[in-house]
Amino acid sequence: MNQQNPDSKRTLREDFLLIRRAMKILNEIMPHYLFWGILVDVSGTVTPYFALYMSARMVNALADGCDIPYLLFLAGLTVGVSFIVSIINRLLAGKRSIKEAFFWQKHEAYFIHVQNKMQYEHLENPDVVNMRSQIYAAMNATGGGLMAVKWNIQGMIYDILQVILSVTLTASMFSMTAEGDFHGIFRFINSPASALIILLLIVCNASLSVRTASYFRIKRDKALSGLAQSNTTLWAYFNLFGADMIAFNLYRIVMEESKKYCFRPKWLEDTQRINIKSAVLSVILNTTLNIAIFLFVAAKAFIGAFGIGNFILYQGTISRFVNSVSGIASAIGGLRVNNAYLVRLYEYLDLPNDMYKGSLAVEKRNDIDYEIEFRDVSFRYPRTETWALRHVSMKFKIGDKLAIVGENGSGKTTFIKLLCRLYDPTEGKILLNGIDITRYRYEEYMSLFSVVFQDYSLFAFSLGENVAANVAYDAAKVRDCLVRAGLGEKLSDLDAEQNSEGLEPDPLKRCIGTEYENVGIDFSGGEKQKIALARALYKNAPFVVLDEPTAALDPIAEAAVYEDFNTLVKEKTAVFISHRLSSCRFCDSIAVFDHGMLIQQGSHETLLADEANKYHKLWQAQAQYYTAPTP
């Protein structure tokens, strides 16, 4: 990510608006975190300042010759109040910890929610994918983004509270003067001019701290951009595993490549040099100011402007004041530099969704009599001039079994994406019962389809949750769908295994895979594809769309699926893509695509009889693999 100088690229108001939006997002992810943080910081700040104040009172009381009971009263008050406030602080800190306990999970859930609401086009856009990767790489490498706002705001609130308490307890110091006639330096110390100079030194220190913090943060983040790349590369290396890694000992290459990122990388050396320079300059600025203030306070105490107890109080609070001002300056600098990351983050969050979402309700028909029509539909993907589909016109009704066939790149998957309205046609219209599908409510139209894509996803949730796509599910219905999808025997085996080993009696409650629990269920590739098919059946939508539904199945399992296909989908419309033309014979209609155009449509027998066209050639090309050679 390109680093930007926040001072030269944005105004203070623009910086403030960026930070304010980040805080709103943080509050959405973690409600009331700022409120609880302030309570914790207030209770945590009061104790040391109260102890300092009471210590000064006791020293002054001793100097004035107070009696023992009064001194014991002050000591008891100090211990008692400090104890009570400390207990309150612990309780509040525990409450805040509960709020923050699952921040990372909530943070990730927020991004998943954002992604789920995105226009599908963005999910397939490599620039958007790269943008999201950069956001996460920056966050993991430098803490840039929302986390930096959280840390800096929390630190700044704590430091602001310290400054407020410091000023409250030390403000009187600047107005206190000693009685008497002083000369030279002590006369100057006793005058208002000395207090004004100290205040100017404090302002100059704060200004320099802000500038140096911003300067070094920019340089540090630029150096750490190498870490972001290293993390991404190493993660890719360390996630390489499988039979090839063992058979060819590819770990040798992985280890050699990883040395470039693990042993004395340039970004690490640059970062350390920057950290040292930043720390040294911070120490010089703070130490110089602390010495000046110490001499000022000591001189005023020496001439009798206040007692020794006040000297202890002022010295302690001013030291904290200086460190807190430096902390505020560092936080402000960090926030302004971090705004470069927020700009990129908001670019991602604000990606437009310009897909039109209509307002018409999808007609709820008892006879589920729906008709889909492609009317002269053409489509090309964003950022390309090549047509993926051209002048496609066809109709199909509920109950039809439609197969989509053709060579790779012929437009089959694009046809399905348009049907499911992941994209809208570039030209032409798609109609549902004579009405343009863009006029229907998007969610209602999408609810008409159960889709099993070739690149389907199963998650490390329970088997039941994967089939139902929901935490709450009808167990009997899940089992029925699994049996209909061809997993009845597997389900029986799992039931028997559970009973023999005394585990959780219901296999539907066991997770898919063993990544997160030892009693998870490992399924083969073909079995997983059947689970995805069961999920489509569970949704019970009028249209079932299958993209290579048997790609991971062996020929026997594939034949079984197609033999029972009509039973599986019953009266529903089935649209499926297949490269195996032998599986198309049971369909009512077969649509043949070639170079984005619908070139043939009809039954298997009709298309096969036309020896001059594409379908016959495709069939003959595959038939040789199913026909035994003549001896």
Residue 567 pLDDT exceeds 60: yes
User: Which tokens go with 127?
Assistant: 């620039």
The 3-state DSSP class for residue 628 equals: coil
Per-residue pLDDT reduced to its tens digit, 137-194: 777 766 778 888 888 888 888 899 988 888 888 877 777 777 777 777 887 787 778 8
What is the C-alpha separation between 345 and 15, in angstroms, rounded? Answer: 14
pLDDT at 437 over 90: yes
Widest distance between CA atoms in the chain? 128
What is the Cα–Cα distance from 504 to 521, expressed in whole angstroms? 12
Q: How confident is the model at residue 80 (pLDDT cuts 50, 70, 90)?
A: very high
Q: Given strand 597-602, what is the order of strands in its sheet?
A: 449-452, 543-547, 573-577, 401-405, 589-594, 597-602
How far apart are the C-alpha atoms of 29 and 353, rounded to whole Å?
Answer: 22
Class of residue 166 by CB neighbours under 10 A (exposed 0-12, middle 13-18, buried 19+)? buried
From the list 613, 587, 585, 619, the residue with the least C-alpha distance to 600 is 613
Query: What is residue 119's DSSP assignment?
Result: -
Residue 384 exposure: Cα atoms within 13 Å on the Cβ side = 9
* Report for 269-273, 290-294, 504-508, 602-606: range of highest mean pLDDT: 602-606
pLDDT of 41 reads: 86
Mean of pLDDT values over 450-478: 87
Taking residues 71-89, what's their average pLDDT?
Answer: 89
For residue 353, what are its two tokens?
């969704």
Q: Burial of 213 by CB count in 10 Å (0-12 exposed, 13-18 middle, 19+ buried)?
A: buried
pLDDT tens, position by position, 207-262: 777 677 666 666 666 665 555 555 555 555 555 555 566 666 666 666 666 665 55
Of residues 237 and 5, more confidently modeled: 237
Distance CA 414, CA 380 (A): 9
Residue 500 — pLDDT band, cuts 50, 70, 90?
Answer: low
For residue 331, the model assigns a pLDDT of: 85
Q: Extract the tokens encoding 431.
A: 């109609």
CB 596 within 8 A of CB 384: no
322 against 367, higher pLDDT: 322
Angle subtended by helix axes 266-302 and 192-238, to nearest 10 = 160
CA 449 – CA 463 distance, rounded (Å): 22
Whole-model pTM: value is 0.70
Query: Is the pLDDT confidence value at 84 over 50?
Result: yes
Q: Tell me the three-class secondary structure of 135-175, residue by residue.
A: HHHHHHHHCCCHHHHHHHHHHHHHHHHHHHHHHHHHHHHHH
The secondary structure of 429-444, three-state, reads EEEECCEEHHHECHHH
Confidence of residue 287 (pLDDT cuts 50, 70, 90): confident
Higher-pLDDT residue of 301 and 419 is 419
Q: What angle do CA 287, 289, 292 make, to 5 degrees?
A: 110
Give percent of the chain above pLDDT 70: 81
Q: What is the pLDDT of residue 600?
A: 92
Note the pLDDT tens digit of each residue in 393-436: 998 887 788 889 988 889 998 999 999 899 999 999 999 989 99
More confident residue, 261 or 196: 196
Q: Which of 142, 139, 141, 152 is nearest to 107 (CA)?
A: 139
CB of 178 closer than 8 Å to CB of 297: no
pLDDT at position 323 is: 81
Residue 501 pLDDT > 70, yes or no? no
Confidence of residue 97 (pLDDT cuts 50, 70, 90): confident
Query: What is the distance of C-alpha 501 from the center of its chain?
Result: 39
Look at 103-117, 243-257, 265-279, 534-548 and tell me which has the smallest mean pLDDT: 243-257
pLDDT value of position 346: 92
Q: What is the pLDDT of residue 554?
A: 62
**Rounded distance between C-alpha atoms, residue 618 and residue 594, angstroms:** 11
More confident residue, 98 or 627: 98
Quote the mean pLDDT of the chain. 80
Tell me the β-bridge partners of 348: none
The residues, ordered by sequence, that sit 6+ positions from 104 with a Cβ below 8 Å of its Cβ are: none
Q: Would you state the pLDDT for residue 389?
A: 95
Tokens 């809208």 locate to 424
Q: How far apart are CA 372 and CA 583, in angstroms?
A: 23
Q: Which residue has the higher pLDDT, 87 or 340?
A: 87
Cα 154 to Cα 26, 35, 623, distances in angstroms: 12, 11, 70
Could you tell me the domains of the chain? 6-349 (1.20.1560.10), 369-448+544-552+572-626 (3.40.50.300), 456-540 (3.40.50.300)
